[in-house]
Structure 1
Amino acid sequence: MSQPPPTTRTAGRPRASSREILEEAAGELFLERGYAATSVADITARAGVSRNTFFNYFAAKSDLLWSAFDAGVAGLEALLHESMADDAVGAKVRAALRSVASALPPGNVALAFINAEPMGLTDELRRAAALRGSDVGVVVARFAVANGVEPLHAEVAGAAYAGALVAAVGAWSRAGATRTSLLDVLDAALVPIYDALP
């Protein structure tokens, strides 16, 4: 009589669930204790995972708030290069930013913007938003320069487009991320800089 083949099973939680559990634990603790009073050890204890698991997913505590945003922005450069070849540079940038926005779920970044003061993370949120905006701006500027835009113009426009994305995420979060469309808020944020790139 033959036995069924052994099932292969990996030890520990699936990678995606550990990330989600860490994000959920952090959100709860930030609301309960405040951002500054919550350590990585507190988060891992609440989540039931090791510090090593935490650092497999996040470089710093503040990254917990931005993981969905970071994941979306990680694909920005590819989105810019996938756009239609005959589109103007500005149209390509706007389309790529809209793609990033359409994939961003309400989550910890929205929770952070809504509860920045009670969580005690107003300054950290401002720093983290500026860093991420800078990263987006660099990607946009590099793309614009590669498509014939003068470097200073590209850098200024990149910063403007990045600022629109980050400002839209903040406004969307504060308005109630489940009640409003991030795409609508982003479109409104892009109006003043619509012609920033040719």
Structure 2
Amino acid sequence: MTPPRSATRGRPPAASRELLQESAFELFVENGYTGTTVDQIAMRAGVSRNTFFNYFEAKGEVFWVELDAATERLKTALADQAAQPADATNAIRSAMLAAVAPLESQHVPFILTQYDLIGSAAELQASAMSRFATQARLLTGFAQRHGVDSATARAQAYSLIACVVAAAQEWAQSGPQRGRLEPYVARAIDAVLAAY
């Protein structure tokens, strides 16, 4: 016989990054970002505080599950590319599109649609910037290994990351019929690459 769940916990103890993320977002809507603690998130998810820290280093990390997964897909896609120096730009474009390809309408980052509930949180901006810098390093390194000089590679990488950010903002603002992120990113990247 299964023991009854504690009345203070609303979910079974099975944990995942997604369950903790969902619990955090519910609490951010109810209490705001600064009014929500890690203990509250863990309790809402029905897990211990230690379990939370098995998945995330800090409260603000819950915003980046999809972005972290996209970075892993970008690493894989870049590794799979066998581009020659003249084709580095197209290889990077393909890898970036592969990284965002799985993102459907339901994957819109909470932070893009609920920013007013979060407020200006410097820790969130810093953690986002560190992730974008990681992606830019991946793109820069790939381009350099394929014959692009470092200054051009870095400028192109940050320009392309900006394309993804702009595309994601447009995607988030497009409402429930927005569809997949990939076409938004393709349009933004193509507009910038036309200038190179």
The equivalent of 1:49 in structure 2 is 47
Residue identity matched to 1:38: T
Residue identity matched to 2:133: S
Structure 1 length as normaliser, TM-score? 0.82
Which of the numbers 67, 79, 82 marks the counterpart of 1:81?
79
CA distance in 1, matches of 2:174, 2:124: 17
Runs of 4+ in 1 over 4 A off after TM superposition: 105-109, 121-125
CA contact (8 A) 1:34 1:121 kept: no
CA contact (8 A) 2:163 2:188 kept: yes
**Unaligned stretches of 5+ residues in structure 1:** 1-11
The equivalent of 2:33 in structure 1 is 35
Alignment length (residue pairs): 183
RMSD of equivalent CA atoms: 2.3
The equivalent of 2:119 in structure 1 is 120
CA contact (8 A) 1:168 1:185 kept: yes
The equivalent of 1:192 in structure 2 is 191
Structure 2 length as normaliser, TM-score? 0.82
The equivalent of 1:20 in structure 2 is 18
CA contact (8 A) 2:136 2:161 kept: yes
Distance 1:162 1:196, change over 3 A: farther
C-alpha offsets along residues 43-84 of structure 1, whole Å, 9 cap, x if unaligned? Answer: 001111111111111112121111022012123122112124
**Unaligned stretches of 5+ residues in structure 2:** 1-12
Which runs of structure 2 are paired with 1:133-152 in the superposition (5 Å)? 133-152=132-151
CA distance in 1, matches of 2:69, 2:58: 15
Distance 1:18 1:77, change over 3 A: closer
Q: Larger deviation: 187-196 or 49-58?
A: 187-196
CA contact (8 A) 2:105 2:179 kept: no
CA distance in 2, matches of 1:89, 1:176: 34
CA contact (8 A) 1:36 1:121 kept: no
Residue identity matched to 1:132: R
